[in-house]
Amino acid sequence: MSESLNKIDAAVAAGRDTIVDFLRELLGQSRNGDEAVQAWLAAQSEALGCTVTTQRYRPADIPMVAEFAGERAIDTGGRASVLAHLPGSGEGRSVIFFAHPDSEPFVEPHGWSHDPFAGETEDGRLYGWGLADDLAGIAAMVQAVAVLKAAGLEPAGDVYLASTPSKRHARGVSALLHSGVSADAAVYFHPAESGEGLREVKAFASGQLDFRIVVAGQPPQTTEPHQTGFAHRGVNPIEKAMLIFRALSDLDAERGQRVLHPSLQAAVGRSTNLMLSHIAAGEPDRLSRMASSCTLGGAVSLPPGEALEEVQAQIEAVLGQVAEEDDWLRLHPPEIIWDAGVTGAEVPVSHPLYRTVAEVIEATIGQAPHVNVMHTSSDIRNPMVQKGIPTVGLGSLGGNLTQNHSHDEWIDINDYVRCVQVAAGIIARWCGVRETVRPRAMAASAA
């Protein structure tokens, strides 16, 4: 196997410029939107000898397992996933590589100091819209197959490259999984937001539950434009919402003592949080008028192993208790709206998939990776929760994500090239490889 990895290393070194040019051209395609990216990727994958299919679907039509999304959260339009299949030559294990082609919507003025789609470089960084979220992940998995071809190797087990929309609950990888796509393992290629690059592996993802609570009030009955003098005759929904706020804060404290996961406890000293992050009531320009309702919004993090239904029941029980103890709320119970929820999942560091990935990373960068357990709602959970497929995630060093309202999103060029090398190495070690008749030269694109 070391001989195969040496061949991969040599192919990456010889094809470095091509590997980088591929990402730059992919960035240029993204100027024209997701459809252009997917069509171009399909052509590149076919040129590498893959069988390519495009699945069109509506996110709302895809079955949900241990997750849900309300109308406010889910993408209602039609989407398309591209699946490239490179058949294995023997009895090796199979793998799904997946990443998402969609990025944040492009807006003007963008405030960047670099052209968002030109792929400009400076101080070892390549700049571009959506590069770190997630064009570099898409490019890395496709170029991994190109590297294997250039090294004169072919996989023993089947390799699937899935370019699957993800943002706004687009659920592209779930669409493929529920259409029958399966494998022995999956790897999600997405640059880490933590600034660790290939030094970390996503093998742990907490779940998350998003909710809103609407509390009714009753403004005082008066025709006066200013209601302050009559406030005692109304029911202020903010005051009633504060009862709920305090009760949920108590629930948060209780859960923090009761719900324990060793990995999270070791990392941050807490395994779950219930965070109230939004409150809305009244009109900011009419402060002398009482609001008719108040909305609280928040989220709960769930460690792997805790079911969404359990947490929902706990919150509903708290609301019921608060309402029972208040004369107004007993007659006007607060309304809870469950916006979205996903279940957590994890791959133990003792699992063969994690060991394989960690060994390849260490052989490539000279340092053993660690697991970052703070990636709440990571897409690694989808194959695990939906179909029981062990999944980990990794990616090159990147930063200034547009998703986080930053400018000049970037990828570290050296780490991106190493990510391609790691991806090819994972195929070699997980699926197994054999030599073909002769290696082939790498090409930047088939277009």
Alpha helix locations (H) across 48-125? none
Q: Hey, where are the domains in the chain?
A: 2-205+344-435, 207-342
Report the percent of the chain where pLDDT is more than 90.
Answer: 83
Cα(394)–Cα(423) distance, integer angstroms: 9
CATH 3.40.80.10 assigned to domain 207-342? The reply is: no
Q: Residue 446's pLDDT band (boundaries 50, 70, 90)?
A: very low
**What Cα–Cα distance (Å) separates residue 378 from each residue in 141, 193, 207, 345?**
18, 11, 8, 9
Q: What pLDDT score was predicted for residue 86?
A: 97
78-93: average pLDDT: 94
Indicate the burial class of 325 (C-beta count within 10 angstroms; 0-12, 13-18, 19 or more).
exposed
Per residue in 182-222, pLDDT (tens digit) is 999 999 999 887 889 999 999 999 999 999 999 999 999 99
CATH number for the 2-205+344-435 domain, one of 3.40.630.10, 3.40.50.720, 3.20.20.370, 3.90.850.10?
Answer: 3.40.630.10
Structure tokens at 402: 């547009």
Write the DSSP assignment of 319-348 as a string of letters. HHHHHHTSHHHHHSPPEEEEEEEE--EE--
Question: Residue-wise over 409-434: b if at least 16 C-beta within 10 A, else e?
Answer: bbbbbbbbbbbbbbbbbbbbbbbbbe
pLDDT above 90 for 272: yes
Q: In what order do the strands lie in the sheet with 398-399?
A: 121-122, 125-127, 410-412, 398-399
Contact in structure between 381 and 342 (CB atoms under 8 Å): yes
pLDDT above 70 for 164: yes
pLDDT above 60 for 29: yes
Q: Is 31 helix (H, G, I), strand (E, B) or coil?
A: coil
pLDDT above 80 for 265: yes
**What Cα–Cα distance (Å) separates residue 100 from each residue in 35, 131, 134, 292, 336?**
12, 11, 6, 42, 32
> Is the entire prediction scored with pTM above 0.85?
yes
Please provide residue 2's backbone torsions phi and psi, each rounded to the nearest 5 degrees.
-60, -35
Cα(419)–Cα(427) distance, integer angstroms: 13
Q: How many CB atoms lie within 10 A of CB 362?
A: 14
Alpha helix locations (H) across 15-135? 16-30, 34-47
416-442: average pLDDT: 89
Cα(371)–Cα(140) distance, integer angstroms: 20
Closest CA to 153 of 439, 429, 356: 439
**What Cα–Cα distance (Å) separates residue 201 from each residue in 143, 197, 305, 377, 426?**
20, 9, 20, 15, 13
- Return the minimum-mean-pLDDT range out of 137-146, 261-270, 393-402, 425-434: 393-402
